[in-house]
Each structure stands twice: as C-alpha cells, then as structure tokens.
Amino acid sequence: MVVATTDVWPNTAGFDTDYEEHEPVELTVKGTIPRHAAGVLYRTGPLGYKAKTNDGKIWAARHWFDGFSCVHRFQIDFPDADGPAKVTYRSRRTVDEYLEIVRTTGKLDSTTFAAKRDPCESFFWKVSPDCTRCT
C-alpha cells in the first residue's frame, strides 16, 4: 500500500490520527455563530486506519471506508448573555472490539469494503463443496 505524503495529498494527516479527545477541547471561533445554533452537533468520520499489532507489526486498512470510525462531538454554548459563542470538541472511537481483534490477530476476518478474498473460499464454497482453491 502506498501512503501519500502531506506534500502530495494534504489530508493524509487526518487519516493518521491515533488519539481520541475524551475531555472537551475549546476551539477558536472565527467570525460569529448565531444564537439559534446553540446545541450539540454529532458527526461520524474516520479516526485512523492503522494499528500496531501485539507482535509489533503495523496493520493498515486497504480502503478509507475500512478505517476506524469515530463520533466527533461539537458543543456550541453562549456562556454570557451578550457574549460570543464557545465551541468545544470531543471524539471517541466506536470500534473498540474491531480494533482489539486487529491488535491481537494482526488481521481482520470479516467482510470489509476493500476485502481481497478468494471466491472459492467464500461464495463458491457455499454453492459447491467440490470447489477447489482458485490460486
């Protein structure tokens, strides 16, 4: 797998994150946020696609959609009656069991978006037990 550098693709850093923000982090607000936008916004997205296995190797997903998912939480408050908005951010992975399987086994034996599987070991085996390995 070829990994792009930030010189080639500026979003690479977003896929190499390996952390969660469990405690609120205050964000800088540029411009103004209307008061009626106060509340909480939840977004789902990636939070990394590589994991170090227990035997010291690096496992990497083959496709962005197979990365480790996360819930991002943005809270917009107006602590002062006439003051500006305060925005805080938190994040939490939603794939703890998935990540643990990858760390302990070094692989993922489930259907993924970019899985490269031998059709004789998956589909054809179900319809014909006489099927032999395709390789």
Instruction: Tell me whether residue 93 is in a domain.
Output: yes
Instruction: Tell me whether residue 134 is in a domain.
Output: no
* Residue pair 132/118 in contact by the 8 Å Cβ criterion: no
Per the structure, the complete domain to which residue 120 belongs is given by 12-127
Instruction: Tell me whether residue 79 is in a domain.
Output: yes
* Res. 44: pLDDT tops 50: yes
Structure confidence by residue, pLDDT tens digits, 98-117 = 888 888 988 877 666 666 65
Q: Please give the Cα distance from 83 to 39 (Å, whole number).
A: 16
- Phi/psi for 40 (5° steps) reads -125, 135
Instruction: Tell me whether residue 69 is in a domain.
Output: yes
8 band by pLDDT with thresholds 50, 70 and 90: low
Which DSSP string corresponds to 86-132? EEEEEEEES-HHHHHHHHHHSS--S--TT----TTTTHHHHH-TT--
Cα angle, residue 45 at apex, residues 10 and 2 outer, rounded to 5°: 45
**How many structural domains comprise the chain?**
1
Instruction: Tell me whether residue 132 is in a domain.
Output: no
Place of tokens 């500006």: 84
Cα angle, residue 102 at apex, residues 97 and 104 outer, rounded to 5°: 95
Query: pTM here?
Result: 0.64
Instruction: Tell me whether residue 58 is in a domain.
Output: yes
